[in-house]
Amino acid sequence: MIIALTGAGISKASGLNTFDEMPGIRQKLNREYLEKHPEDFRASVAAMGDVFSNARPNDAHLALAEYNIPVITMNVDGLHEQAGSHPINLHGTVPTQEEREKGLNLENRPVLYGEQAPNYPKGIALVQQLKTGDVLLVIGASEYTVISNDIRKIAANNGASVIEIQKNAEINTRKVLENLIKGGSQ
């Protein structure tokens, strides 16, 4: 079995910056900011949604979908869905323009920093299925977050190989998948 854990690095070739490359965004995506500055929060989420709506999946997203690889993602950009995958979105997604127009409270919004993420248990449960001979393919996911480190540790503790693709995901993902699948790892 092969499972992919993806982070912002997978979407770089689709023209999306990581949060590290967007000064101030982390400070705006927390509960305190939402409560103190609801209009600016909504405007920030809307701006992110507009950027995401113009992005298209790159070959890394497409390869995961084509090979039917289960995906756990920390991204909120919706590119896995556009490519045809059905990921576990650990941090939710950014509401579409239609959803933003309907809901003033933005109930369908990314999980904020400091909030409980409702899909963590689903991601953990999937990774716990890995065993010796299986692979966790980590694509563009830094070691910045606790959840990405926990997922890596669970996979490794279960005997799975953890393969990191941190650069040129749009090229290297398909190459790694082809090698793994030809080698009989799926």
Q: How many CB atoms lie within 10 A of CB 173?
A: 26
> What residues form DSSP beta bridges with 88?
72
Which uninterrupted H or E stretch holds 181? helix 169-182
Give, to the nearest 10 degrees, the angle between helix 146-157 and helix 120-127: 20
CA atoms of 57 and 80, how far apart (whole Å): 7
What DSSP assignment string belongs to 66-106?
HTT--EEE---S-HHHHHT---EETT--PPPHHHHHH-TT-
CB 72 within 8 A of CB 7: no
Q: Which of 54, 58, 45, 63 is nearest to 8 (CA)?
A: 58
In the set 37, 80, 86, 91, the catalytic residue is: 91
The number of residues in the chain equals 186
Q: Is 80 a catalytic residue?
A: no
Tell me which residues are annotated as active site.
91
